[in-house]
Amino acid sequence: MEINLPKLKRLVKDSGLTQKEVARILNINRATVSSKLNGNVRFKRRELSALGRELGMTVEEVAAGKKKPKREDLLWQQLEWARKEADLKQRRIDELKAQLAESKQTIETLKARVQKLEEND
């Protein structure tokens, strides 16, 4: 199995795990973790599996150094985008309503002026 070490190192760092904690999870010493993350010693599949269990990922995701989004997460993301889009549309509608109200008020003011002028004639 191909392992993307730079991404795996980033994944471990981003997870907040220390090399000491990774060593405990993999049941190896910290120096060996460092050697593995630097590419001097290969990871065993069971080690990737143990790390994956800790991070809530599959062996393949750990080896690739990135978690594939779950369908549920993608759906939530799409829902959030739809909500943001709806909010933007509603704001635009509110802006147009305010402009319309201003225009109506301007028209009423102009009508009143015209009526006043006509009464004065």
What pLDDT, on the 0 to 100 scale, is given for residue 71? 73
Looking at domain 5-64, its CATH architecture is Orthogonal Bundle (1.10)
Segment 53-68, tens digit of pLDDT: 998 888 999 999 887 6
pLDDT at 121 over 80: no
Q: Rounded to an integer, what distance in angstroms lies between the CA atom of residue 66 and that of residue 51?
A: 13
Instruction: Domain ranges for the chain, please list them.
Output: 5-64, 69-121
Contacts of 3 (CB under 8 A, 6+ apart): 42, 43, 48, 63
Predicted TM-score (pTM) of the model is 0.55
Q: Rounded to an integer, what distance in angstroms lies between the CA atom of residue 16 and that of residue 22?
A: 10
Q: Rounded to an integer, what distance in angstroms lies between the CA atom of residue 96 and that of residue 99?
A: 5
Segment 65-112, tens digit of pLDDT: 887 666 777 688 888 999 999 999 999 999 999 999 999 999 999 999
What pLDDT, on the 0 to 100 scale, is given for residue 69? 61
What pLDDT, on the 0 to 100 scale, is given for residue 70? 65
**41 near 35, Cβ under 8 Å?**
yes
Segment 36-47, tens digit of pLDDT: 999 999 999 999
Q: How far is CA 71 from the centre of its chain?
A: 14
